[in-house]
Structure 1
Amino acid sequence: MDVRTRFKPDVGFPDEDVEDRIREAVRDQMGIQSVLRPRTRSACEPEIDSLVVIEIICSIEEVLGIKLPTTFAPKGGYDSVEACVGDLVAETRAVWNASVREEEHHDR
């Protein structure tokens, strides 16, 4: 895993870029879903379903150049955009930091 492909690890985790990308991906996916499934969401359906979360994860991978586990997507999805963004930023930061530590260890 080469985290240097997109961002420099010594600068730190690009929180703002990742959050912006997640929000952009959520908007895009919500728009796509409204076209594919033009119906009112029932009370028991999550605002962001797990398939949409997988699409968002792929978008984050594209930005950072690292592989994220699909297990980030909770079964059923997220009940709010804020919960999705907060969780994915935190999970992505953890993978980023682990990747940076691994690279630093290999560079020695």
Structure 2
Amino acid sequence: MKFEIADIADLKLCSPFARSLARWIFRRYVVSRNDFRTHAMVVATDTKEKSKFVGFPAQALEAILREELMAVAEAEADMNGFALPKEPGVAAVAPVPMDSLVVVEILCSVEDVLGFQPKDATVRTGGYTSVQDALDHMMPRLENQWLKKQGESK
């Protein structure tokens, strides 16, 4: 399977569902091609399941983001020639620079949990210095967006 730059540029002409699906397929292709950690579980939801959350799904959202960010951090560490610590808590605060464009691509992994596509501006321009830095910055912003979509205020 080969992706051309023109194929990705054409995503702006597609429906939101088609863009989401294409991003998901492309991201999985890139992850498997670059020998990052593969994901064993694919979560499929429909519109009925999206409304099952009574409050902001912070735990589910943080778990997905942490998993995706750790995969990025591991890849960055490998490319820069150093290893992350084995303990997840220590690895999350290890200084591993993550590009903002890569983190923006991760946001599509939380669309099913949130029920909408988060804004790209959720991610800090310039990226993050660690997984925990990214989580600490994005989680409040995602919650604010979720509350706005629900018609509530914080």
Instruction: Compute the TM-score of the two structures, normalised by the length of structure 1.
Output: 0.70
SS in 1 for 2:151: helix
1:48 pairs with one of 92, 98, 103 = 98
Q: Structure 1: where are the runs of 5+ without partners?
A: 103-108
Higher-RCO chain (CA-CA 8 Å, sequence separation at least 6): 1
Cα RMSD over matched residues?
Answer: 2.6
- Alignment pair present for 1:91 and 2:132: no
Q: How many residues align?
A: 94
2:130 pairs with one of 62, 80, 83 = 80
- Whether the aligned pair in 2 keeps the contact of 1:72 and 1:91 (CA below 8 Å) is yes
- Whether the aligned pair in 2 keeps the contact of 1:13 and 1:96 (CA below 8 Å) is yes
Rounded to whole Å, the distance in 2 between the matches of 1:60 and 1:14 is 10
* Higher gyration radius (CA): 2
Rounded to whole Å, the distance in 2 between the matches of 1:30 and 1:101 is 35
- 1:10-30 deviation digits (Å, cap 9, x = unpaired): x20011011101101102223
Task: Say if 1:33 and 1:65 are closer, same or farther in 2 by CA, change over 3 A.
Answer: farther
Query: AA paired with 2:63?
Result: D
- 1:70-108 deviation digits (Å, cap 9, x = unpaired): 011222101222121022111111111111117xxxxxx
The share of aligned pairs that are identical, in percent, is 30
- Alignment pair present for 1:39 and 2:39: no
2:107 pairs with one of 39, 57, 64 = 57
Q: Which residue is equivalent to 1:14?
A: 57
Rounded to whole Å, the distance in 1 between the matches of 2:112 and 2:59 is 15
